């Protein structure tokens, strides 16, 4: 039977949500209102896209799409009856809302906590969640602070952004039951899952999901979660077969420099061991000679800019091909990020 737990208080029935006997904490109010609407039978919900590649836009999601997503995830993972879930994400966005939907559709018990970088640190000893969704930062911090609890999770779903190479290596070494998700607001959370069972991430689509590519090699999706609408993405993929693909990067981030097409996300992976202590990204800016030139933008205290820049330039040839070496390195005190924590590359680069 569905149960939402907030602190020491539990809510089960529609009446519990319509007439709560306690004050609902600020961080839980959106989740509480959403569960009330769901239990009352509301059929559509207004959400917003993340805004990682453009302006966040409102999107109307149907109840049937959310139910389809929850049931497909249950079937994919073979979730047992009456599971325990932990929601440690912002429930104003699709990832957090879908944790609530899964609990309601699966008839499970879900503990809602305020989002933080260390979600497992202060969990009650008696609570052992089987299914948890986290962003990469939460996984990284939980490895440091709550490793035993992290290892006990049967289904650890990582989303929001791909895990770094360092985190991927740590997951493999620790043998965590972890999975990377691929999806978007338009498809109501994930439509494909990649297991962290090898260094090469291969995504498998959920039941009833149809995928293909356009003439750019960018993925399209058609499924019940998209309300049976074909969604064309800007994600470059290598389609292995109708059920499996590898993610290569965003087409809208591709840089054409002197006739060479550069995929920044793929090059960024090569730089992870050189820049372990800073957030960074590669971007293409206009250039009279090359059309676009590749630049590296690092989030860092400006006082160390000269030192870091010299060290990197000395090491670029060790890990990068000739045409992958950034023409310039810029340092920014603080990146511009979306509400879901993703770096807004264009706005950050525009402010250089």
User: What ranges do the domains of the chain cover?
Assistant: 3-206, 254-350
**pLDDT for residue 12:** 96
Instruction: Determine contact, residues 346/335, Cβ cutoff 8 Å.
Output: no
**pLDDT for residue 104:** 98
Assign a CATH topology to domain 254-350: GMP Synthetase; Chain A, domain 3 (3.30.300)
**pLDDT for residue 52:** 53
**pLDDT for residue 31:** 97
Question: Could you give the CA distance from residue 5 to residue 12 in angstroms, rounded to a whole number?
Answer: 9
**pLDDT for residue 50:** 65
Global confidence as pTM: 0.81
**pLDDT for residue 126:** 84
Taking domain 3-206, whether its CATH number is 3.20.20.80 is answered by: no
Per residue of the chain (352 residues), give pLDDT as tens. 899 999 999 999 999 999 999 999 999 999 999 999 999 999 999 987 765 555 667 889 999 999 999 999 999 999 999 999 999 999 998 999 999 999 999 999 999 999 999 999 989 888 999 999 999 889 999 999 999 999 999 999 999 877 888 899 999 999 999 999 999 989 999 999 999 987 789 999 999 999 999 999 999 999 999 999 999 999 999 999 999 999 988 888 889 888 788 889 889 989 988 998 889 999 999 888 788 999 999 999 888 899 999 999 989 989 999 889 999 999 999 999 887 778 899 899 988 8
**pLDDT for residue 51:** 56
């Amino acid at each position: 039977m569905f149960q939402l737990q907030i602190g020491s208080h539990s809510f089960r029935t529609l009446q519990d949500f319509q007439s709560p006997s306690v004050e609902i904490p600020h961080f839980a109010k959106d989740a509480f209102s959403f569960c009330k609407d769901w239990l009352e039978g509301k059929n559509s919900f207004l959400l917003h896209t993340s805004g990682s590649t453009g302006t966040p836009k409102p999107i109307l999601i149907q109840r049937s799409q959310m139910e389809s997503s929850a049931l497909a995830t249950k079937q994919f993972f073979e979730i047992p009856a009456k599971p325990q879930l932990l929601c440690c994400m912002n429930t104003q966005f699709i990832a957090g809302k879908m944790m609530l939907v899964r609990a309601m559709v699966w008839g499970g018990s879900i503990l809602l906590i305020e989002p933080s970088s260390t979600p497992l640190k202060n969990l009650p000893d008696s609570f052992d969640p089987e299914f948890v969704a986290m962003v990469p930062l939460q996984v990284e911090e939980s490895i440091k602070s709550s490793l035993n609890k992290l290892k006990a999770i049967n289904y650890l779903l990582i989303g929001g952004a791909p895990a770094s190479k360092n985190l991927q290596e740590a997951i493999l070494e620790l043998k965590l039951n972890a999975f990377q998700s691929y999806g978007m607001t338009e498809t109501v959370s994930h439509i494909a899952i990649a297991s962290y069972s090898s260094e090469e991430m291969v995504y498998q689509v959920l039941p009833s999901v149809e995928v293909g590519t356009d003439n750019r090699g960018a993925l399209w999706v058609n499924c019940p979660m998209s309300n049976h609408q074909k969604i064309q993405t800007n994600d470059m993929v290598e389609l292995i077969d109708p059920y499996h693909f590898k993610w290569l990067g965003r087409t809208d981030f591709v840089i054409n420099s002197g006739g060479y097409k550069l995929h920044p996300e793929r090059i960024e992976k090569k730089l992870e061991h050189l820049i372990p202590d800073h957030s960074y990204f590669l971007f293409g800016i206009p250039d009279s000679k090359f059309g676009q030139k590749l630049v590296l933008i690092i989030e860092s205290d400006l006082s160390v800019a000269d030192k870091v820049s010299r060290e990197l330039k000395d090491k670029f040839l060790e890990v990068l091909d000739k045409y992958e070496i950034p023409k310039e390195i810029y340092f920014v005190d603080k990146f511009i990020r979306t509400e879901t924590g993703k770096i807004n590359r264009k706005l950050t680069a525009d402010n250089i």
